[in-house]
Amino acid sequence: MPREHKRRGRGQSRTIAGIQQQPWKQPRNFYSPFEIASADQIEALHENSLRILAELGIAFLDDEALDILREHGAKVNYSSKMVKFSPELIEEYIAKAPSQFTLHARNPKHNLEVGKNWTLFSMVGSTPNCSDLDNGRRPGNFKDYQNLIRLAQHFNVIHMTGGYPVEPIDLPANTRHLDCAFTHLTLTDKVFHAYSLGKQRIADSIDMLCIGLGLTRKELKKQPSLISIINTSSPLRLDGVMIQGMLEMIRNGQSVCVTPFTLSGAMAPVTLAGALSLQNAEALATLAFTQMAAPGSPVIYGGFTSNVDMKSGAPAFGTPELAKSTLIGGQLARRYGLPYRASNVNASNTVDTQAGYESMMSLWPTIQSHCNFVKHAAGWLEGGLCASFEKVIVDVELLQMMSAFLDGLSFSADEMAFDAIADVGPGGHFFGTQHTLERYENAFYSPILSDWNNFGQWTENGSLDTTQRANKIWKQALSEYKNPPMDESTIEELEAFVAKRKEKPGISIHWK
Amino acid sequence: MPREHKRRGRGQSRTIAGIQQQPWKQPRNFYSPFEIASADQIEALHENSLRILAELGIAFLDDEALDILREHGAKVNYSSKMVKFSPELIEEYIAKAPSQFTLHARNPKHNLEVGKNWTLFSMVGSTPNCSDLDNGRRPGNFKDYQNLIRLAQHFNVIHMTGGYPVEPIDLPANTRHLDCAFTHLTLTDKVFHAYSLGKQRIADSIDMLCIGLGLTRKELKKQPSLISIINTSSPLRLDGVMIQGMLEMIRNGQSVCVTPFTLSGAMAPVTLAGALSLQNAEALATLAFTQMAAPGSPVIYGGFTSNVDMKSGAPAFGTPELAKSTLIGGQLARRYGLPYRASNVNASNTVDTQAGYESMMSLWPTIQSHCNFVKHAAGWLEGGLCASFEKVIVDVELLQMMSAFLDGLSFSADEMAFDAIADVGPGGHFFGTQHTLERYENAFYSPILSDWNNFGQWTENGSLDTTQRANKIWKQALSEYKNPPMDESTIEELEAFVAKRKEKPGISIHWK
């Protein structure tokens, strides 16, 4: 719960309520990764993936991509669009991808390391609906979009936005990306994401990023500042719009995260080994392609192999199967020396106990897989069909706890507390001892949402459940939100760019 | 959600609703334990604990215990009751404890392995209150006690009861243990627990166990069938009633789990290293004592080092600090080759999102610590002050998910699904393929509580949140509950024993 702290000024005493959140910090995971597959099992997945790519191939639905692939030694069938890769070709090009890179934010304090033992948490993305306790569930819209971006900016533990936190369907589809990029650049100074829906949209986002950061395209090329998710159209297919957006990203030095959407039982085999083999094959082929088109491009290996409910066909999240695939995905990414992406997901229709336990069923293995890029880390509900304002607050609590868990251990002689134990003696109490007083303020994780009052006090306070408390906190966060400063001239330049592009959008609306 | 399945008989078709739970199975954890402390750090904790025991000592508030300790080489001060141990003495006696043993149930199918990579889940224990959605929160009573025992018997994933699931304070304190043991023996055929509150209560439980199992005391001595938790009275103290109960247990071949109650910031140092050193010192001293009094006794190393809320002094559970101490506790137990106990706990006042995420924040590290005995695995709420009927169902879901997670991996050639992937081809669907049809029924974990319907279907079904659904399920479970059979003559003998003991309880009521 937010606590009150006092500030004194000019003879007055006033009480200022402030959410006492953790300071900005990008966590590093110094613990060993938790690995559930044996080295032999990882090699078996690897071999099976390479066999899929060598014998079956994968469809690249874009002729420019087919040319690039052929020129670099892949076997291309232009009529079926199928591309086959020898194992050596995959290994050769995957090896060109960096194992770590920096994502640059408008505010350099918010720059992010991607790879090795670094972790980062990004806001929920791409949901068609949003909801809160006061106004219920509604289709995505620009106002909610802006408020969710403000929450992502306000909470230090949310390190970047991750696409549109909700789809603003009240904006015209062919110019929506312009308003969204403008919002990303002005309401937050953290790293953001652009959708790879064809070349033009990415080109616009890059142009706007150059204005916002005050860089030329040539300068921007040297500092990855934008990220895009590349979803394969599983099984064994990569769509043309994705490819064109991806090419524009990597040719401009920007980063892409390749995430096959291999839902087991639907777009992927019903077995974990089969689904992971498919995920790995699709990721390897697409990542190898990035290194052919732009060697050294900053890329991420994405895992998203959950399963469907075999009764309804609905995707399930936060399942034991997802936990396993998330952990093994991390092992595969390390096998290739690539940064790894996973997610904080659940399938609940409301912010309740299931939302809490399914999120944790995905977040724990995500953290323990040494995931570098945790997507949908805050706000995801309904298997990704809804962004919840209350769930953002729940997830801020979970992410802060995980960050505290990753803070590691300190075993100095003083912390061994032998003298304190000797002083207190049998049956004594440590509460008021010097050893405690010196440390109590920062000794333990301090929650923003969890209520540790006893039942009587909790009842006196109104018996508010977690979701009701979260409702108060996101409103408080919005009231405390501060717009990150930007030069007036830069804002004007961005506005002018958007206005000019809106005159002649030049984008065919062939996506929903 | 419970599903309907049809059974046909005598030309009729009738629909029987049944909770489709997992079959009985004791999980084994074939994954590597997740270790966050380095070998050096574990040795530092070990050395610090031995130093505490050698230089400060620990108070054993029982003269018989002091005699045993002195006879076996410890330095005893009879006036202060303080006992000091040399490092060699601790190592010598700890080495006598078995690393694995069997707990025998009245129904041999429910026998349990304790130690190595075996895991078992026990019901919530020792709460003063209980609650459900219909009737709210109320003081513990015998009717709720019985119903909670029935739930523990009904759900296969709850492997044993763990003390009184709620304290039946409507029964007289001096004969309560007789009614409770009778209930444990007749309403469930799983392993149960007795409280070490002096010698007589344990002696009564053992006598009743002999009747229930049809064994002599001599025969029972060869098969551990009863377990008791020994809490130290931290810091550095062990109470007389605990000691006397413990002696009666181990002298009769029964098992004890020694769990220091080292809440960091209150009964233990505010630092993790200090609190764990104290936990370890108290556990080692008490466990070494068991092996002096009864060498080879089946014992368990218990960890329960959570922290207090430094603002209110209330204990917190499901914190990052508890996650760390749980994992390191497992490393210490393995250091000594002992079975390990941890818990599934939270501090929420109601079955809500916090209850879900805090439980998972303790359950994940518990599982990954290779915990052998998961106490309070189902039903715990309010930091242990309340047993919730709905939380039992939530936890059954969590435990079933963990059990499915521990099922491990199968990477047979057929599961690699190369042929299925080849058959489906690019852009196809796996839903109706032979490979899927052959496996879909058991391919994925199937929940009893989680609702994976889409928002529209969920709304049509009444928009029930997880707790409301859990409310229906525990009532259904009680209606499906079947009393495990027991000979009428055995029941009569137990009744006669209870009646006779009630005539002359012979227990001083010096405990609340």
Q: What is the mean pLDDT of residues A282-308?
A: 97
Token pair 């990542």 in the structure block, residue = A287
Averaged pLDDT for residues A408-427: 95
Q: Which residues of chain B lie closer than 8 angstroms to A357, CB-CB?
A: 356-357, 359-360, 394, 397-398
Mean predicted lDDT score pLDDT of chain A: 94
Per-residue confidence (pLDDT) for residue A267, from 0 to 100? 95
Closest by Cα among A261, A200, A231, A187 to A478: A187
Cis peptide before A235 (omega within 30 of 0): yes
In the predicted structure, residue B15 carries a pLDDT above the cut 50 = no
- Provide the number of CB pairs (under 8 Å) joining chain A to chain B: 382
Higher pLDDT, A8 or A505: A505
Q: What is the pLDDT of residue A507?
A: 63
At residue B270, does pLDDT exceed 70? yes
The pLDDT value given to residue B2: 35
Residues of chain B in contact with residue A409, where contact means CB-CB under 8 angstroms, are 36-37, 41, 272-273, 324, 328
The interaxial angle of helices A389-406 and B320-335, nearest 10 deg, is 40
pLDDT band at B187 (very low <50, low <70, confident <90, very high): very high
Report which DSSP code applies to A294: S
Q: Domains plus CATH for chain A?
A: 39-86 (no CATH), 93-406 (3.20.20.480), 418-442 (no CATH)
pLDDT digits (tens, 9 = 90+) for A237-252: 999 999 999 999 999 9
Q: How confident is the model at residue B310 (pLDDT cuts 50, 70, 90)?
A: confident
Please list every residue in chain A whose beta carbon sits closer than 8 Å to the beta carbon of residue B311: 3
pLDDT tens digits, one per residue of B285-307: 999 999 999 999 999 999 999 99
- H-state helical runs in A133-175: 142-154
Indicate the pLDDT class of residue B312, thresholds 50, 70 and 90.
confident
Judge whether residue B314 has pLDDT over 80.
yes
| Chain B residue at shortest CA distance from A421 | B269
Dist CA A484 CA B290 (whole Å): 63
- Predicted pLDDT at B507: 63
pLDDT(A15) > 50: no
Rounded to whole angstroms, how far apart are CA atoms A193 and B333? Answer: 46
Integer Cα distance of A287 and A299 in angstroms: 7
- For the stretch B326-348, pLDDT in tens is 999 999 999 999 999 999 999 99
Residue B107 has pLDDT above 50, yes or no: yes
Mean pLDDT across the stretch A499-511? 71
Mean pLDDT of B155-171: 97
Distance between A247 CA and the closest CA of chain B, angstroms: 22
* Cross-chain Cβ contact A452/B312 below 8 Å: yes
Question: B488: buried, middle or exposed (CB in 10 Å: 19+, 13-18, 0-12)?
Answer: exposed
Tell me the nearest-neighbour CA distance from B250 into chain A, angstroms: 25
Q: pLDDT confidence of B313, banded at 50, 70, 90?
A: confident
Fill in the amino acid letter for A29. N
Residue B418 has what pLDDT? Answer: 98
Q: What percentage of residues in chain B have a pLDDT greater than 90?
A: 92
Residue B470 confidence (pLDDT): 98
Q: Look at residue B10 and tell me whether its pLDDT is greater than 50.
A: no
> Do the chains contact at B277 and A31, CB–CB below 8 Å?
no
Lowest mean pLDDT segment, chosen from A369-373, B263-267, B502-506: B502-506
Q: Are residues B41 and A445, on separate chains, in Cβ contact within 8 Å?
A: no
Q: Could you read off the pLDDT of A80-99 as tens digits, one per residue? A: 999 999 999 999 999 999 99
Tell me the torsion sign for CA atoms B420, B424, B429, B433. negative
Model confidence over A384-403: pLDDT tens digits? 999 999 999 999 999 999 99
Residues B374, B378, B384, B385, Cα dihedral to 10°: -160
Look at residue A512 and tell me whether its pLDDT is greater than 50: no
At residue A17 the predicted structure's pLDDT band, cuts being 50, 70 and 90, is low
The answer to whether the CB of A331 falls within 8 A of the CB of A39 is no
- Please report the pLDDT score of residue A310 as a whole number: 82
Give percent of chain A with pLDDT exceeding 70: 96
Residue B22 is classified by DSSP as P
Reduced 3-state DSSP string for A261-285: CCCECCCECCCHHHHHHHHHHHHHH
pLDDT band of residue B311 (cuts 50, 70, 90) is confident
**pTM (2 d.p.):** 0.95
Say which of A265, A323, A455 has its CB closest to residue B436: A265
Output the 3-class SS for B160-183: ECCCCCCCCCCCCCCCHHHHHHHH
Contacts of B157 in chain A (CB under 8 A): none
**Residue B509 pLDDT level (bands cut at 50, 70, 90):** very low
CA distance B489 to A41: 56
Report, as an integer, the average pLDDT of A161-175: 96
Per-residue pLDDT tens over the stretch B49-89: 999 999 999 999 999 999 999 999 999 999 999 999 999 99
Average pLDDT over residues A144-171: 97
Per-residue model confidence (pLDDT) at position B8 = 33
Burial of A55 (0-12, 13-18, 19+ CB in 10 A): exposed
Is the model's pLDDT at A313 over the cut of 90? no
Q: Mean pLDDT across the stretch A302-312?
A: 90
pLDDT of residue B512: 27
pLDDT at B5 over 60: no
> ipTM for the complex?
0.95
CB contact under 8 A, A270 and B309: no
